[in-house]
Structure 1
Amino acid sequence: MSHLDHDMLADQAIERLVHLHSGRATAAERMAFNEWRGQSAAHENAAREAEALWGALPETRNAAQFVAPVRRSRRLLLAGAVAACVAVLAVVALPRPLAGVYADYATRVGERRSIELADGSRVWLNSGSALSVDFSTGERRLALHAGEALFEVAKDPQRPFIVRAGDTEVMAVGTRFDVDARGAQTRVDVTEGVVQVSKAASQPLRLSAGQRLSLDERTPEPAAVQPLDLDSASAWQRGKLIFNQRPLGDVLAELERYLPERILLTDDALRQHKVSGVFDLDDPDALLKTLERLQPVTVTRLPWLVLIRPAPRG
């Protein structure tokens, strides 16, 4: 199928789906849509893409009534739906910026920042992150409210260095480690030295260089300790993302933190495709271009959304 034919079917699928959710669709029109999608595998794929995209935009179902029932391109239809639910999407996107209101240090989406602390330690904040610092004569305590931070700790045996993320605490005396807090999940990577990881209602664990531990606030016990690829660990600090045979679903989740839009993969069959490559964080557009070059996908950027779908064959 040519690009033109694929886009034409995608246009038709979106147009029909918008009408079906408008509140004006009849039973006959719903049956007609089922018959339309059953005409061929290409029709069915276009219908599934449209349904996945529609479901990824919260509350856009009510926005359909604002879209005139005339044929338009997918981009215009979706832009109208997105515009109608900007307030809802803004609420979804706000937690990371809001954390910056009360934090001592914060980064915008796509921004990375290096900070030297009063004790000589250094912190690198990744995209969309927020950190507070509370040093006293007895301890050095920090709170990672959101995002990811790499810590290079100055030695001071009399004042332990403690980072809290959610219900997880990471303590080090002199070492280099990374804490990544995403909602209920926290990941700790150790690249130098030793840290002690404590979680409410579980025994403390010691992690050494080359080890990774993942924790979830919804489960009492942490996952098993995993080996850490030191060659690619914290590559974001150098402005790179390095993937070695990583599932496409994981890669997209990582890329999303550097983009203002959300990423939607319309075909779950692609989620386990392995990706190897180097991505340049200083050029967000290049992230998506590199992805298209590495994988059999087409990337479409819409307001608030990046749509990843299988590349047309032929």
Structure 2
Amino acid sequence: MTEPTHPSASAVDLEDQAIEQWVHLTSGRASEADRSAFARWRGQSADHEAAARLAERIWQALPQTCAAQRFVVPTKVTRRPLRWAALAAGVGALALTGLSEPAKVYFADYATAVGERRALTLEDGSQVWLNSGSALSVRYSSSRREISLIKGEALFQVSKDASRPFVVQASGGSVQAVGTRFDVDRQGEQVRVGVTEGEVKVSSGGAVVPLRAAQRLEYVAGTAPSPTGALDLGSASAWQRGKLIFNRQPLAEVFADIERYLPGSLVIAGSLPTTAVSGVFNLDDIPGMLEMLARTQPVKIYRMPWLTVVVVNQTRA
């Protein structure tokens, strides 16, 4: 690793240099000479030292992300040839014992990649729009239409069939409708439900809550749903039209909504201010959206192929 020397570099240039060097130092390929070079680099000035400390803050924040806390190192599996009967038995056993979320996503009937949105028409004529990074499976019988939302967000336009309830299962709870239009957003164990037409019944933690048009609520696996609140119909399901609309939404929620459209992980280094954000953003221009937030909010945003880091500017927050 060469030691960069930019006597007149701006603070932003120094921060970029520090992050680039820190990536190399933590890659497992750095030598003692590289570490010594970085020590000399950070000692050139107070600005160099501040940039180095910023890079360290970013890396220290990584283990605090939800993705890092959920990560489990996979065990090494010895693969043997399987006959079809043995494979069927194995799949049956997995269905009975349960799968991890990544495995369930792999076996899902429908899934979208990060940045992809997809429209589906089910066998009964019901329509489904899958948001970025989402997955679901479909199980229809003569008496019930059941959807398992494994990950992400889906908007449902349900064909009426009173003899076969339409039920969406998500994180230990369910949303039941006969003929209506509603959105279910699952992020880990938390589920948000919003109704734009008709009415649904949300069941979780032993409680059943009716939810009508222009209402929303949320629940966490194993707990009763929250009280109902008003749903902003102007911004609800805007992602279906390729837009994100924020109406005085807290900055933390804005980044939580954006995260699903970013490859890799999003890290927030510092405490975000309680800024209310309003605006209409194009989902086909995520870099432009991040650039706008960096210009108008007290944050700096660094993008790498697998990581987006939001650093709170304490002097402006």
The TM-score normalised by the length of structure 2 is 0.73
Counting only pairs closer than 5 Å after superposition, residues 269-280 of structure 1 correspond to structure 2 as: 270-280=272-282
Whole-angstrom distance in 1 between the partners of 2:192 and 2:63: 28
Query: Aligned letter for 2:265?
Result: R
Distance verdict in 2 for CA 1:284–1:97, change over 3 Å: farther
Residue 204, structure 1, aligned to residue 223, structure 2: no
Per the TM alignment, residue 101 of structure 1 is displaced from its structure 2 partner at its CA by 1.9
Q: Please give the alpha-carbon distance, in whole angstroms, between the structure 1 residues aligned to 2:22 and 2:223.
A: 46
The match for 1:228 is 231
Residues 14 and 51 in structure 2, CA contact (< 8 A), matched pair in contact too:
no
Q: Which of 267, 280, 287 is the aligned partner of 2:270?
A: 267
Task: State the one-letter code of the partner of 1:125.
Answer: L
- The structure where helix makes up a greater share of residues is 1
Over 3 Å counting, the alpha-carbon distance change for 1:313 and 1:3 in structure 2 is farther
Give the secondary-structure state (helix, strand or coil) at the position aligned to 1:204: strand
- Structure 2: which 5+ residue stretches go unaligned? 1-7, 75-99
* Contact 1:129/1:147, CA 8 A, preserved across alignment: yes
Quick one: structure 1 residues 140 and 57, their matched pair in 2 at CA, closer, same or farther if it must change by over 3 Å?
Answer: same
CA distance in 2, matches of 1:308, 1:122: 36
> Structure 1 residue aligned with 2:176, among 171, 178, 201?
171
Match of 1:8 among 14, 22, 35: 14
- Alignment partner of 2:57 out of 52, 56, 59: 52
Higher relative contact order (CA 8 A, sep 6+): 1
Residue identity in the other structure for 2:11: D
Deviations 1:177-232 (A, max 9, x none): 001111111111111111001114x2211000111111011x52222211111110
After superposition, give the CA deviation of every residue in 1:147-194 in whole Å (9 maximum; x if it has no partner).
100000011111111110121111001100001111111111111111
**Structure-2 change in CA distance of 1:140 and 1:9 (3 Å):** closer
Alignment check: 8 A CA contact 2:22 2:56 kept:
no
Deviation of 1:262 (Å): 1.8
C-alpha distance 51-135 of structure 1, shift in aligned 2 (>3 A): same
CA distance in 1, matches of 2:101, 2:284: 20
Question: CA separation of 1:90/1:46 partners in 2, compared to 1, >3 Å: closer, same or farther?
Answer: farther
- Find the counterpart in structure 1 of residue 308 from structure 2: 306
Counterpart-to-counterpart distance in 2, 1:49 and 1:266: 9
Q: Indicate if the aligned counterparts of 2:105 and 2:111 stay in contact, CA closer than 8 A.
A: yes
Structure 2 vs 1, CA of residues 304 and 240 (structure 1 numbering), >3 Å: closer, same or farther? Answer: same
8 Å Cα contact 1:196/1:206 also seen in 2: yes
CA contact (8 A) 1:176 1:192 kept: yes
Cα offset for 1:49? 2.9
- Match in the other structure for 2:246: 243
Unmatched segments (≥5 aa) in structure 1: 60-84
- Deviation string, structure 1 residues 90-133 (Cα, Å, up to 9, x no partner): 98xxx876443211111011100000111111000001111111
Tell me the matched-pair count.
270
Query: What residue number does 2:187 align with?
Result: 182
SS of 2:10 mapped into structure 1: helix
Deviates more, 1:144-153 or 1:244-253: 244-253
Aligned equivalent of 2:87: none
Query: Is the contact made by 2:203 and 2:225 (CA closer than 8 Å) also made in structure 1?
Result: no
RMSD (Å), alpha carbons: 3.7
